Each structure stands twice: as structure tokens, then as C-alpha cells.
Structure 1
Amino acid sequence: MVKILCNLTAIDIDTHHITTLYKTIGENVKKIRKQQGISQLDLALAVGYKSVSSIAKAESLIEKKHFNIEQLYKISKALDVPIEKFFEGI
């Protein structure tokens, strides 16, 4: 559990909620990528990776790997979608 101060009031953020957040983002990236007919390899190369490993792991939250904001920004540009699309359903 993580405590964050917000407007001088402490709020609790359960790690399960954070995991769900990362999982939803990964699923949204995967869904949009597939809708556009883009492979993991093509997306990986478009954002500067040399292999699909990072994309594959973050899309499925394998080994607790997830996308950071810079990666999401690059992916949004590569897929030509607003970055907000990755946060739908959260």
C-alpha cells in the first residue's frame, strides 16, 4: 500500500489497483496495435527497440514489466492515436 498526500489529505493506493492500471494500459496498447494490423516487432522497431521483448512483456504485464510515460508517448505517435486511448476503461 502506498500513501500519497493529495490536497493535504493522505490517500491509500492499493498495489492491486496499480497492477490493474498497468494491465489495462497494456491491454489497450495491444488492442489498438492489433486493430491497426501492426505486429509487436513493427511497433518495437518504430519506437526504437531492437526486439519485441519489451512490447510483449508490457502488453501482458509479464515479469511486472509495464510501459512508462515516454514509451506510451512514442507508441501513441507510432500508432497515430491520442495517448488518452491507452487509459480508457480505467
Structure 2
Amino acid sequence: MKENTSITDEEMLRIYKVIGANVKKIRKSRGISQMQLALAIGHKAVGTISMAELCINNKHFNIEHLVKIADVLDVKIEEFFEGI
């Protein structure tokens, strides 16, 4: 098994920011608010969505979030990774 130690914390942060920006762009293109998306994936407030879209306080989407968001927005999960 190959260990991948070449991905730095800064690179991971950039990846999280790209994913967050892609979620935000797609969400807005569908006319869905942060609150509507939060409720649709089972959250009661917009905090997770708003902070993860901007990668604030090291908050980012996990795979469960992305799977649920892709379903709600009716997109392939791969679209969140464009530009990485």
C-alpha cells in the first residue's frame, strides 16, 4: 500500500473550498436557499451549510453531506469535485 503524504493541510483546505464553492454555485443555480438545503438533508439550521460552503472554522462537507446534497440538488456527486 502506498502512503500519500504529499497532500498538505493547505492543499486539503483548497480542496474543501472548491467543493464548498461548487455546492454553493449549484445550490444557487437551482434557486434553493441554505435553509431549504439544510432542512432537506436533515439539519434544523443553516450553520452546517453556510460554514461548509465557505470553509469557515475548518468546517467542510463530509461524504454523507455530499451524497444527500447531490440527491436534493439532483446532480452527480462528481460535480462537487470539478476544478480540483
Query: Could you tell me the TM-score, scaled by structure 2's length?
Result: 0.95
Higher normalized helix content (fraction of residues): 2
Q: What residue is the counterpart of 2:35 in the other structure?
A: 41
Matched, 1:75 2:69: yes
C-alpha offsets along residues 2-21 of structure 1, whole Å, 9 cap, x if unaligned?
xxx62xx6542111110000
Identity among equivalent pairs (%): 55
Matched, 1:29 2:23: yes
Q: How many residues align?
A: 84
Aligned AA (1:79): L
The structure whose Rg is larger is 1
Query: Could you tell me the TM-score, scaled by structure 1's length?
Result: 0.89
C-alpha distance in 2 between matches for 1:59 and 1:43: 12
SS of equivalent residue, structure 2 residue 6: strand
Query: What are the ranges of 5 or more consecutive residues in structure 1 without an aligned counterpart?
Result: none
Matched, 1:61 2:63: no
C-alpha offsets along residues 6-50 of structure 1, whole Å, 9 cap, x if unaligned?
2xx654211111000000000000000000000000000000000
Q: Which runs of 4+ in 1 moved over 2 A?
A: none
